[in-house]
């Protein structure tokens, strides 16, 4: 073993994922099917740049392709999988809100598309169990009930737009359902609408229009305010916010922004100063809202905040109605604290007819039109259709919302280790003797890479999958691995041991240890008292390299027999003969021992599953002290 130079505890990262997989009728599938089926390599990958800087400007995995060379063990089984009955099934895609024709064409070329607009929540729940994908805009609430009603069939929810506050992401993750959105195609439309509302509000365009149409000519009533030289506070300096800022600069406004997560250099590049929340709201003449609706931003504009704004401020909201306490806004408008508001979005959509806010004379409203330009809708439709089709094929989308942001190049080199990780998980759990619950799992990665250069989330998920699936009915994929582990009370801690060797390969070895359990193969228990197995990737293939304290080297293909015996001549021949007599083909064999003529371990890879009689005969060999048969 290489010498160890440092040890770093890895911080357990947030949940991550893969999309569920649409099983294609060909043997070409994706990483995700690869993750759902125990298969062998090779895998090829292509990259896609994440378009959303709010997703850390990271490269994310897209179009992860693979050639399945064997599908020995199918470990993915959605309760109602697509290919039941048909040799060439087409997935059913439900579109519950108006989607551009170009996007529908993309969907129709791949699946059966049903456009059912204005479904009631009950109707959606009834319909969803026959659908593999659902495409929504902001008008459909994809609640926990919808995921429950889907009975495991729903594999992907596509949000044809940005805001995913209408999708219960936690429930989606728990049910292993991928959520994708279309984060970029409507950015300009939303920014343009924000600027349109700002200008219209400042010059009373809507009110004056209504007045003229009512036969009046009230020139002095509708004197507006100029925007040039005024301070605009952009709250949320993301895609839309920065486009609004850019346009406002063009109008001669002084632009400041508040965004706790936005990089200062991006703001600086646009000539925008990032300031604190209080500084933004207390100095601005105009406040434009562009943050997502989250528990933190919910009603962030309330009585308390309105008490801090500059008197006579004007507010534009093209983000989400829920970021404003609407009753507080009415009070602020009535009190003259807020001079005017221009709102495209509301807490409840459509808002109640008698809404004081909507009816307020100083309020300009539009019915959630931010994304509604021909160009944006066409773009969004194509963006979401491609993402959903990709997800149904099993690809990880560049716009996955509850998927891992594992850089594609990282994934590419990790792929053989991903196979190894799942196999080690499967092996380790099969070594546990019944009776004691599994609680603590420790994963040790030996690597020459810098800690920052080793993303282990994918490996952790696959170990989790390998551990959980053989012992439960849970279906584990990359979307729900961390959640499922937590739910089952598994504590998975990770440790990285730095080694002095070439950092060419991401990982030298992966060790899986299960603590405080008895083993059905005592030799798998290391000196520390944990079940411990270690594996490496050799020539692109997963190998088992250590069992307990015994070094072995066996390719992890087919199944495995582990025997502990007294180290003496003739053992390999004897066991090999028994297997041969029963037509069990040995693919690999390796012997590891602690000391000469003392105890040794034989690790035997077998293509077929030996029957009871064969195993009994092996157990009957006098020098064999214990043995176990493990399914990979």
Ligand X SMILES: O=C(O)C(=O)COP(=O)(O)O
Ligand Y SMILES: NC(=O)C1=CN([C@@H]2O[C@H](COP(=O)(O)OP(=O)(O)OC[C@H]3O[C@@H](n4cnc5c(N)ncnc54)[C@H](O)[C@@H]3O)[C@@H](O)[C@H]2O)C=CC1
Please choose, out of 21-29, 238-246, 451-459, 582-590, the segment that lies near ligand Y by the rule CB under 6 A. 238-246
User: Which residue of the set 258, 368, 426, 564 is catalytic?
Assistant: 368
Residue with tokens 């063009």: 250
Residue 90 or 141: the one with the smaller Cβ distance to ligand Y is 141
C-alpha to C-alpha distance for 515 and 82, rounded to whole angstroms: 39
- Minimal distance, residue 345 CB to ligand Y, in Å: 5
**Total of chain residues touching ligand Y, rule CB under 6 A:** 33
Residue 163 or 542: the one with the smaller Cβ distance to ligand Y is 163
C-alpha to C-alpha distance for 99 and 165, rounded to whole angstroms: 19
Residue 162 or 478: the one with the smaller Cβ distance to ligand X is 162
- Minimal distance, residue 289 CB to ligand X, in Å: 12
Residue 138 or 509: the one with the smaller Cβ distance to ligand X is 138
What angle (nearest 5°) sits at the alpha carbon of residue 86, between those of residues 390 and 382?
25
C-alpha torsion angle, residues 151, 156, 158, 159 (rounded to 10): 60
Please choose, out of 4-12, 143-151, 258-266, 304-312, the segment that lies near ligand Y by the rule CB under 6 A. 258-266
Contact between 50 and ligand Y per CB under 6 A: no
Contact between 170 and ligand Y per CB under 6 A: no
Residue 143 or 493: the one with the smaller Cβ distance to ligand X is 143
The entry of ligand Y, ligand X, none that residue 160 binds, CB within 5 to 8 Å by partner kind: ligand X
The entry of ligand X, ligand Y, none that residue 158 binds, CB within 5 to 8 Å by partner kind: none
The entry of ligand Y, ligand X, none that residue 291 binds, CB within 5 to 8 Å by partner kind: ligand Y
Give the residue nearest to ligand Y (CB). Answer: 238
Contact between 236 and ligand Y per CB under 6 A: yes
C-alpha to C-alpha distance for 15 and 174, rounded to whole angstroms: 10
368 is catalytic: yes
Closest CA to 37 of 317, 394, 385, 547: 394
457, containing H or E segment: helix 457-468
Binder among 1, 83, 116, 261 for ligand Y (CB under 6 A): 261
Give contact residues for ligand X (rule: CB under 6 A).
137-139, 160-163, 186, 368, 370-372
- Minimal distance, residue 397 CB to ligand X, in Å: 16
C-alpha dihedral sign at 24, 27, 28, 33: positive
Please give the radius of gyration of the chain, using alpha carbons only, rounded to the nearest integer. 30
349 is catalytic: yes
If you write DSSP's letter for every residue of 586-611 in order, what string do you get? Answer: EEEEEEEESSTTSEEEEEEEESSPP-
The 8-class DSSP code of residue 143 comes to: -
Please name every residue paired with 601 in a beta bridge, in sequence order, or none if there are none.
564, 592
Please choose, out of 104-112, 146-154, 255-263, 467-475, the segment that lies near ligand Y by the rule CB under 6 A. 255-263
Contact between 198 and ligand Y per CB under 6 A: no
Residue 50 or 590: the one with the smaller Cβ distance to ligand Y is 50
Contact between 117 and ligand Y per CB under 6 A: no
The token pair at 310 is 């500059």
The token pair at 590 is 């390796």
Contact between 54 and ligand Y per CB under 6 A: yes
Contact between 137 and ligand Y per CB under 6 A: no
Residue with tokens 């053992």: 571
Contact between 139 and ligand Y per CB under 6 A: no
Q: Is 216 exposed, middle or buried (0-12, 13-18, 19+ CB in 10 A)?
A: exposed
Residue 185 or 227: the one with the smaller Cβ distance to ligand X is 185
Mark residues 352-391: x for contact with ligand Y by CB under 6 A, - for none. Answer: ----------------x-xx--------------------
SS3 labels along 221-267: CCCCCCCCCCEEEEECCCHHHHHHHHHHHHCCCEEEEECCCCCHHHH
If you write DSSP's letter for every residue of 35-58 in order, what string do you get? Answer: HHEEE---EEEEEEE---GGGTT-
The token pair at 280 is 């933004």
Please choose, out of 200-208, 254-262, 469-477, 623-631, the segment that lies near ligand Y by the rule CB under 6 A. 254-262
- Minimal distance, residue 318 CB to ligand Y, in Å: 4
Contact between 235 and ligand Y per CB under 6 A: yes
415, containing H or E segment: helix 408-430
Please choose, out of 80-88, 212-220, 237-245, 331-339, the segment that lies near ligand Y by the rule CB under 6 A. 237-245
**438-476 burial string, b = 16+ CB within 10 Å, else e?**
beebbbbbbbbbeeeebbbbbbbbbbbbbbbbeeeeebb
Q: Kindly report the backbone phi and psi dihedral angles of residue 386, in degrees, each rounded to the nearest multiple of 5, phi listed first.
A: -65, -40
Maximum CA pair distance of the chain?
109
User: Which residue of the set 218, 349, 413, 581 is catalytic?
Assistant: 349
- Minimal distance, residue 181 CB to ligand Y, in Å: 9
User: Which residue of the set 36, 37, 314, 320 is catalytic?
Assistant: 320
Residue 183 or 506: the one with the smaller Cβ distance to ligand Y is 183
- Minimal distance, residue 52 CB to ligand X, in Å: 12
Please choose, out of 35-43, 221-229, 292-300, 506-514, the segment that lies near ligand Y by the rule CB under 6 A. 292-300
Residue 93 or 601: the one with the smaller Cβ distance to ligand X is 93
The 8-class DSSP code of residue 204 comes to: T
The entry of ligand X, ligand Y, none that residue 15 binds, CB within 5 to 8 Å by partner kind: none
C-alpha to C-alpha distance for 57 and 242, rounded to whole angstroms: 15
Contact between 68 and ligand Y per CB under 6 A: no
Instruction: List contacts with ligand Y (CB under 6 A).
Output: 54, 162-163, 183, 186-187, 190, 235-241, 258-262, 290-293, 296-297, 318-320, 344-345, 368, 370-371
Known catalytic residues are 320, 349, 368
């Amino acid at each position: 073993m290489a010498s160890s130079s440092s040890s770093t505890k890895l911080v357990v990262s947030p949940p991550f994922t893969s999309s569920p997989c649409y099983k294609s009728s060909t043997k070409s599938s994706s990483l995700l099917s690869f993750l759902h089926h125990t298969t062998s390599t090779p895998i090829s990958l292509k990259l896609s740049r994440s378009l959303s800087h709010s997703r850390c400007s990271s490269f994310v995995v897209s179009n992860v392709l693979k050639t399945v060379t064997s599908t020995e063990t199918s470990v993915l089984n959605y309760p109602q999988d697509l290919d039941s009955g048909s040799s060439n099934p087409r997935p059913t895609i439900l579109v519950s809100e108006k989607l551009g024709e170009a996007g529908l064409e993309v969907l129709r070329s791949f699946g059966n598309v049903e456009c059912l607009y204005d479904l009631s929540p009950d109707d959606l729940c009834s319909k969803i169990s026959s659908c593999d994908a659902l495409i929504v805009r902001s008008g459909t609430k994809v609640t926990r009930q919808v995921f429950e009603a889907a009975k495991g069939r729903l594999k992907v929810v596509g949000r044809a737009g940005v805001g995913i506050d209408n999708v219960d992401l936690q429930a989606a993750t728990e049910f292993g359902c991928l959520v994708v959105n279309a984060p970029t195609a409507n950015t300009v439309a939303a920014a343009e609408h924000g600027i349109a509302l700002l200008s219209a509000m400042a010059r009373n365009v809507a009110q004056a229009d209504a007045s003229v149409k009512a036969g009046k000519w009230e020139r002095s009533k509708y004197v507006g305010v100029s925007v040039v030289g005024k301070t605009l506070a952009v709250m949320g300096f993301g895609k839309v916010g920065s486009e609004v800022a850019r346009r406002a600069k063009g109008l001669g406004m002084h632009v400041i922004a508040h965004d706790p997560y936005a990089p200062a250099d991006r703001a600086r590049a646009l000539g925008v100063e990032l300031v604190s929340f209080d500084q933004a709201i207390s100095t601005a003449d105009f406040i434009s809202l562009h943050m997502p609706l989250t528990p933190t931003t919910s009603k962030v504009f309330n009585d308390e905040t309105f008490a801090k704004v500059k008197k006579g401020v004007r507010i534009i909201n093209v983000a989400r109605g829920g970021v404003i306490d609407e009753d507080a806004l009415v009070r602020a408008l009535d009190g003259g604290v807020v001079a005017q508001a221009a709102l495209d979005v509301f807490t409840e959509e459509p808002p109640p007819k008698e809404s004081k806010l909507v009816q307020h004379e100083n309020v300009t409203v539009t019915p959630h039109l931010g994304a509604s330009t021909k160009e944006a809708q066409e773009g969004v439709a194509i963006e979401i259709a491609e993402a959903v089709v990709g997800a149904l094929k099993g690809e990880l989308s560049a716009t996955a919302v509850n998927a891992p942001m594992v850089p594609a190049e990282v994934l590419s080199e990790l792929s053989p280790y991903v196979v190894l990780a799942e196999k080690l998980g499967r092996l380790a759990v099969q070594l546990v003797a019944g009776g004691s619950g599994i609680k603590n799992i420790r994963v040790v990665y030996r690597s020459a890479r810098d800690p920052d250069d080793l993303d282990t989330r994918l490996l952790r998920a696959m170990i989790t999958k390998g551990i959980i699936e053989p012992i439960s009915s849970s279906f584990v994929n990359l979307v729900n691995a961390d959640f499922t582990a937590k739910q089952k009370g598994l504590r998975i801690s990770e440790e990285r041991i730095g080694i002095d060797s070439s950092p060419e390969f991401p990982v030298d070895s992966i060790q899986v240890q299960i603590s405080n359990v008895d083993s059905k193969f005592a030799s798998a228990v290391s000196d520390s008292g944990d079940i411990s197995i270690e594996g490496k990737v050799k020539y692109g293939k997963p190998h088992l390299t250590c069992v307990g304290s015994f070094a072995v080297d066996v390719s992890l293909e087919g199944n495995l027999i582990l025997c502990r015996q007294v180290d003496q001549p003739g053992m390999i021949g004897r066991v090999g003969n028994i297997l041969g007599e029963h037509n069990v083909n040995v693919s690999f064999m390796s012997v590891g021992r602690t000391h000469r003529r003392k105890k040794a371990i034989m690790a035997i890879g077998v293509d077929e599953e030996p029957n009871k009689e064969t195993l009994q005969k092996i157990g009957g060999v006098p020098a064999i002290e214990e043995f176990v048969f493990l399914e990979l």
